[in-house]
Amino acid sequence: MRTYAPDAEVYDSAGMTLEETISVMAEAGAAEKRVVRLHTGDPSIYGAIQEQMAALDELGIDYHVIPGVTSAFAAAALLRQELTLPELSQTVIFTRVEGKTPVPERERLTEVARIGATLVIYLSVAMIDRVVAELLAGAYTPATPAAVVCRVSWPDEQVVERTLADIAVKVKGAGIDRQALIIVGDVLKARQEGLKAKSLLYDKDFSHGFRKGIVT
């Protein structure tokens, strides 16, 4: 349930252009009203925020950016899954496949997939067959685990967990074709197969600035 101040003016930016959005904010600012430009997730990840800030800068309008929680981290919390694990993956890549928005050649999924890191793929579930094909052209195999999380943190959130061999079929069967992200990588095996290695952070023999290790 959404609640607003009784006298708040509410605009749905989904049907607005950049120019219309900036105009509303500028007019409200000129009237000395407090303006909240609310984004889903975190505005720094596929939030189209830079163009809005550039427009506000050009108009000399001051603003503050408050971080949110991107769906990648909300999904990891729902899955009870760490995205970086010792000896499995120490790198997380946020990416997407090319759609209406082009992707630089060096960042095409087939290129990124060569690394074999934990991948979080946004805005691509409608092209999941293509996603799987491009991942399999890289360092991943049909046995690599994958999870698709739809509308995470909403009451109707959905989770599909399989491997690259059949994730596309299961996702289509669940009717998921938007508002979802794809997580791929061997870290997803940990909850079923156990940890390959533990972090040194809490190891009794490991010393750091806040704790002296126990020498045996």
Domain 1-68 has CATH 3.40.1010.10: yes
In this model, does residue 209 exceed pLDDT 90? no
Q: What is the pLDDT of residue 3?
A: 67
pTM of the full predicted structure? 0.86
In the predicted model, what is the mean pLDDT of residues 149-157? 96
Residue limits of CATH 3.30.950.10 in the chain: 71-193
Give the H/E segment covering residue 158: strand 158-163
In this model, does residue 212 exceed pLDDT 80? no
CB 144 within 8 A of CB 163: yes
Which tokens in the block code for residue 197? Answer: 């290695």
HSE (side-chain half, CA atoms, 13 Å) at 101 = 10
Q: What is the pLDDT of residue 120?
A: 98
Residue limits of CATH 3.40.1010.10 in the chain: 1-68
What does CATH list as the number for 71-193?
A: 3.30.950.10
Sheet with 158-163: list strands edge to edge. 92-96, 118-122, 180-184, 145-150, 158-163
